[in-house]
Amino acid sequence: MEAKKITYCYSLLLLLLAIVNGHGAWGISTEEEIELESELRILGIPGLKSITMRPSSFPEPSTDDFPIMSDSVEVGFRKGCPLGTVPIRRIPKEDKRRAKAFLKTYSEQLAKDSVQPLEAPGVYYNAEVHTQRKRTSKFYGAEAYLNVYNPKLTTKQQFSRIMMKLRYGPENSSTSIEVGWAVFPGLYNDTFTRLHTFWSVDYHRRSCFDAMCLGFVQVSPRIPLGMKISHISTYLGTQYDLKLTVYKDPKSGHWWLLYGRNSEPVGYWPEDLLGDYTSHITEGKWGGDVYGLFARLPPMGSGHKFEESRRGGYRTACYIRGIKVQERLGGKFLDVDEVDIEKREELPVCYTVEDQGMSSSWGYTIYLGGSGGLCYWLYTVTVCFFFWPLLMAMELGLYQEEKTLGWKPNSEHDGDIYDCVDINKQPTLGHSLFKNHKVQMKPTGSFPKSAMDDSSITSDDQTVEIGLGEGCPLGTVPIQRTRKEDLKGAKEAFFKSYSEQPDAKIRFGYFRAEEQTTLKPSSKYYGAQAYLNVYNPAMIGPDPQSNVIIKLFFGPEDYCCTTLAAGWAIFPAIYKDNSTRLHTFWSTAFEQKFCYNLRCPGFVQTSQKIALGMKIPHVSTDHGKQYDIKLTIYKDSKKGHWWLLHGRNDEPIGYWPKGLLRNVTSHATTAVWGGTAVGEDPFPPMGSGHKFTKSPQGGYGSACYIRGMKVVEKLGGNFTDVNDRMLTKFENRPICYTVGGQGFSKEWGYGIFVGGAGGLCGYSGL
């Protein structure tokens, strides 16, 4: 009776004829044409030469003999189908039509992998953890126990899923296999919790839910894709979970789906189905996703978030435990490494994920979920009524927490006011992205060797040590007080600086004179440092900006990628004066997110003495005393944060958390040293205001230098000097600003000179 109600048992031979060499008919416009194409494939395509009934080998057993706190669900028909046949869920015509409609929008949304509406007013959000995407990432399998719930949905336009997702290929590829459970009325025409899968080849080309199209080869006579899960967890009651494993058969190359504690084979996705990217997995994801109307969002998981309370975890929030990956083809499944896991919450006010890390009882575990409903609108109304001034600042991308409760005012320093803020209440930690971030007081790994040892570099120059005289009390950090007028010009200044490019026909320019490492596919940098000669050239023209800086780019193109930068700058638009100041900048794709210093969440301050944006007390004079400032940016080899160090003793100022640099490579692809000048004509000077010349008066003491240029090319390795072969010169207005004098010396290490007078240079007829 069970088979009659929900499945047909087809001949195994006929099934394989339908599946082999299948291509989804996603380009066909009508349902009848889809069915016709499927029938033609069933009747006219030859079958496999051989049928793979079981994997050639199973993964080595993993040590997951956890204490039994939950019951693992055993799904499947008791008797199963007759020998030689497999159960395939009957798909009514209406289900096919709905599946086709969802695929058109859902696949495009997953390809974007971001918070964008599918079809107004529908929206898609997820809360998950994922392995860092690295060039060296190679996985051959993933598994987990997924806590099973039945979230209550209200319309057919909603779905709620708990999934394990495997991504294949480079970052711009969207080939994937996804397995888990789902409540998906738009697909199944009911609100039961069901075993659910999805696969795609570059989402826009071919994609499929369960066995609703050609692709998955079923071998289990008991377990069909899309079947109901009979045992569901209850809030504060009995808990059930579902163990799923996906791994690559080392002989056939097929990707197998295994179910349950005994790793029963359900079936496989043939190696040829997934295209060119299936030699290994490049990224694993574990979490939940939802889709629904923005006016009322569906619940995720159990419908409850994880909370730091006795009742806030097990039996309340949905868990995923025993998260493992297979790092060697045919090898053993191993617990994921906490260092390599990143969290992603697209709408944390509604849905969260709590990374619990490793435990001896459950392995690597996360909790996730949320109630959905009107959560976003209730939050928005609250913010609009009670935090309107802060909302306006956030709209500019310049949120700076201004509450002073618990802050201890520090005395003025060179006319600036600094507040000593509780280190755990600084603005960055108030952002939802860093809600559960624990402040790291110092780098966990050892400093790169030459970052602490400059004995090979000698100089008569005075390296400036900046900072407040007494510093802030223990447990607090100095943050420059941001006034209302300081916020107003920052957004406009940013877009003038980085959106407009120099052109002879316009009167505004962004000019660079730099040396940068040559971008290659093998380029990997984990740090950069240098001594930057400090000047205070007189600013001219409207809205000028001038800086000398170290930059790290993460991505293929320097103007479309994530950036970390530190140096000195004269920037009246944001500092409201012409002083030379310690200046930092970060961006995650210039057109999306950006921030100067601590004017928005992003940088975690740890130093009690040094504040971003503070004035540099000593500046060089033309052919007089020379001062420089030593700055280092490098990646902590254990925690993955990017640290900013200052001075000869490499004092930590703070760090950019690894979570800030989401969706980029784990390393920098380009390191840059040089100067920039931004403004309308007459253009501002760069560096000292003088170009480098080979005359006795045209180098040291005249042009601005950058010396001791080094990089880290291996995570946790030492700093090494750059050389001529590694570098490429970049000058986009050489008639105005140049870089020259490149070379290595025992006294300075590798050094360059940058600068120019600016003014009306480069414009004929002016």
Lowest mean pLDDT among 28-42, 226-240, 560-574: 28-42
Q: Answer for the pair 150, 183: CB distance below 8 angstroms, yes or no.
A: yes
> Which whole number is the average pLDDT over 212-233?
85
Burial class (CB in 10 A: 0-12, 13-18, 19+), 743: exposed
Q: Any idea what DSSP says for residue 312?
A: S
Whether the per-residue pLDDT at 65 is higher than 80: the answer is: no
CA–CA separation, 704 vs 24, rounded Å?
62
> Which whole number is the average pLDDT over 352-378?
86
pLDDT of residue 463: 76
Lowest mean pLDDT among 115-129, 243-257, 521-535, 623-637: 115-129
Higher pLDDT, 548 or 385: 548
Query: Taken in order 699, 700, 702, 705, is the CA torsion positive or negative?
Result: positive
Indicate the helix (H) or strand (E) that contains 510.
strand 508-517
Lowest mean pLDDT among 150-159, 446-455, 465-474: 446-455
| Confidence bin at 173 (pLDDT 50/70/90) | low
Q: What is the pLDDT of residues 305-355, one digit of tens each?
A: 987 545 567 889 999 999 999 988 888 999 987 767 888 888 888 999 998
Q: Answer for the pair 227, 90: CB distance below 8 angstroms, yes or no.
A: no
| Confidence bin at 178 (pLDDT 50/70/90) | very high
Contacts of residue 30, defined as CB under 8 A and 6 or more positions apart, other chains included, come to none
Higher pLDDT, 485 or 232: 232
Q: What is the pLDDT of residues 267-278, one digit of tens each?
A: 999 888 876 656
Compute the mean pLDDT over every residue in the chain, rounded to the nearest whole number. 75
> Which whole number is the average pLDDT over 437-447?
74
Closest residue by Cα to residue 373 from 152, 549, 224, 669: 152
Indicate the helix (H) or strand (E) that contains 44.
helix 31-44
pLDDT of residue 419: 82
Lowest mean pLDDT among 435-439, 521-525, 566-570, 727-731: 435-439
CA–CA separation, 527 vs 536, rounded Å?
27
Q: What angle do CA 395, 398, 400 make, to 5 degrees?
A: 120
Whether the per-residue pLDDT at 574 is higher than 80: the answer is: yes
pLDDT of residue 390: 44
Most confident of 338-347, 423-432, 598-607, 704-713: 704-713
Q: Answer for the pair 381, 476: CB distance below 8 angstroms, yes or no.
A: no
The domain locations on the chain are: 2-369, 408-755
> Which whole number is the average pLDDT over 705-717?
93
pLDDT of residue 205: 58
Displacement of CA 249 from its chain's centroid (Å) = 30
Whether the per-residue pLDDT at 696 is higher than 80: the answer is: no
pLDDT of residue 230: 86
Q: What angle do CA 418, 420, 422 make, to 5 degrees?
A: 145
Whether the model clears a pTM of 0.85, i.e. scores above it, the answer is: no
pLDDT of residue 104: 56
